[in-house]
Structure 1
């Protein structure tokens, strides 16, 4: 093991290597200095070339950093990633078929590293069945250049499973906070543990190398064994970057790092708008005692609604990156949490998620179709991917999808209990989604409880597709809802009007109902 500069570390990467980059979106846990040095070396020397890039989470900020450091013709030939939204240049390369591009569930990619470390053949899971991850549909391919299969269907114990073979890792690039002289790595200044240990083990047990970036170097003996997250025996090179930030948006934050706790976490109430209306209606589907996951974007408004209504302590928030309890961070710090009760590695979190550990998930939708399928991952040339969406939406007992009924448009809310709608817009409820990120067929077969919540209509998934169960007060069913859909939904015989309190300025006096005893019994 040696301490070296980022430029010297970049020289260690050979042509044709499979490079695993650990971290999360928004610059969280991103080994920024090393990635910048690798890009600089390629631009100067034309090496390393023909890389395969493997990343579990989205990485970068959309400004040419993160995985986009590898987005140069000749530098990269294949990418297997869980989330692509932060990698705009790499998305363009995929759209132009300049690379082989694949997107697999975040949990599957996380678990693959453990399997690779243990020299096991791969991951066997039902996560992704009947979605675009399913090899009978797209097999996770994002473009025509992605000819090689990365998974297959197998039958085991009388049931169909997706088998995803391990990807041998030649180079793992990871990030911690402190390294001692033997290369032992701690993460006391990071916001999450990610896959740092399994990534290092996967590379080392494949005969590869591990390059770590840290903020601080200390003498051997100053780090307690219990605080070591990656043993020095796994590390080949350490780059010390004293300017290392918690994320692109945040330099340091002891509360997001988990080193300190806030006595009272204040979440400012949302201004009355369409996002608040939707978040309020989604929050009404939660139950007291629920273990909850909130997706990126519009779903994080649910936390603000619960805080305003005094209900935050009635649920337990979790984040796929490994946090349990506390309050999830929003925006580009998504994946972090304040006052988390525990922070475990992402692979262990996905074990819990895949096994049904979440009671209710609130996730975004971009398209919903007549079968109850949801698309969040593909829109023409733009392919943001799925991240943990498939694991979460398929593993939870109840899922509430949220979004505006149409794309764009101006809404009028005067706080009196009604809503003014834009006259028209691009439909989000379509006959057939462009890509299946969530399978309505699966949900019906497993008896999963599924809702689709918008500002003007609420649907519940039935055996034949979405069933309209509520409409906003004062709107016209035909003009404002049915005529702006790509399919004709079933309408509940007891079609209700959405609670006018959703559309008022003052708090709505939300009280979460008790959990369903049958659900609690089923989980026991």
Structure 2
């Protein structure tokens, strides 16, 4: 069965999560990652408002108004979940206890800088916990479309938008490829089926090194 590209991106991100990890998911595509966790893995999902052990979104009619994610979306809680106040929640984040955070991105720089909270001139509620998550998680994965709606590259030599955090992103998953952030900049390691290294280079506003062994991720959930 052919899978929608945003779901493919989320599924690829889920591969980075290991058994026993403590993970925080950002808004948008990252929230889909919950749907693709291997059933054999025990993963503890954290929400900044004070839950460790967050589960998938609650089915309609089964919502509990006291169990919501940091965006106030009704969710479920897995067996053994714990609840605490926001001070303890951010204490967990700032003490480096998060193994992985998966965040959306407006721009990512070749050195791992992340901009994901504001476009100048637009009204936004604020940065939220993104700065703490990006700086303190052991691994930061950015998941985003490769270009914006106008075709402007989101992966750049330097971010033009206000930064969320510096030198934090280690892996980027876009709708066409997977790239690592290295000391030399972007390294292309994987392509979604139907896309090429030349396309990635053309749509990236920075130098891209190409791995010798490129993995092709298939839309039918099978990898070559």
Could you say which TM-score interval applies, normalised by the shorter chain? 0.7 to 0.9
Alignment RMSD (CA, Å): 2.3
Q: Aligned to 1:402, which of 121, 143, 157?
A: 143
User: Is the Cα contact below 8 Å between 1:451 and 1:459 reproduced in 2?
Assistant: yes
Q: Check if 1:357 corresponds to 2:97.
A: yes
TM-score, structure 2 normalization: 0.82
Aligned to 1:310: 39
* Greater radius of gyration (CA): 1
Partner of 2:64: none
What's the offset of the Cα at 1:315? 0.8
- Does the alignment pair 1:467 with 2:187? yes
Q: Distance in 1 between matches of 2:34 and 2:115?
A: 24
Q: Which residue of 2 aligns with 1:31?
A: none
- By how many angstroms is 1:491 displaced? 2.7
* Residues in 2 aligned to 1:398 and 1:367: alpha-carbon distance in whole angstroms: 18
The CA deviation at 1:328 is 5.3
Secondary structure of 1:381's counterpart equals: coil
Higher strand fraction (1 or 2): 2
- Residue in 2 that maps onto 1:453: 173
Matching of residue 339 in structure 1 with residue 77 in structure 2: yes
In the alignment, which residue of structure 1 is the partner of 2:114? 374
Which consecutive segments of 4 or more residues in structure 1 shift more than 3 A?
none
Q: How does 1:24-43 map to 2 (within 5 A)?
A: none
5 Å-filtered alignment, 1:104-253, equals none
Checking the alignment, whether the CA contact within 8 Å between 1:319 and 1:328 is kept in structure 2 is no
Aligned residue for 2:155, secondary structure, equals coil
| Residue in 2 that maps onto 1:432 | 158
3-state SS of paired residue (2:18):
coil
**1:277 corresponds to which residue?**
8
With a CA cutoff of 8 Å and minimum separation of 6, indicate the structure with the bigger relative contact order. Answer: 2
Asked if 1 retains the 8 angstrom alpha-carbon contact of 2:142 and 2:173, the reply is yes
In structure 1, the partner of 2:208 is: 489
Give the match for residue 102 of structure 1: none
Q: CA deviation at 1:431?
A: 3.1
User: For 2:90 and 2:22, how far apart are their aligned partners in 1?
Assistant: 14
Q: Is the 8 Å Cα contact of residues 328 and 334 (structure 1) preserved in structure 2?
A: no
Q: Is the 8 A contact 1:468 1:495 kept in 2?
A: no
With normalisation by structure 1, the TM-score equals: 0.37
* Separation in structure 1 between the aligned mates of residue 216 and residue 222 of structure 2, nearest angstrom: 12
Pick the aligned partner of 1:324 from 52, 60, 66. Answer: 52
Unpaired runs of at least 5, structure 1: 1-270, 409-423, 444-448, 510-524
Asked if the contact 2:111–2:182 (Cα under 8 Å) also holds between the matched residues in 1, the reply is no
Q: Distance in 2 between matches of 1:328 and 1:473?
A: 28
Matched residues, number? 206
For residue 134 of structure 2, what is the aligned residue in structure 1? 393
Q: Which runs of 5+ in 2 are unaligned?
A: 59-67
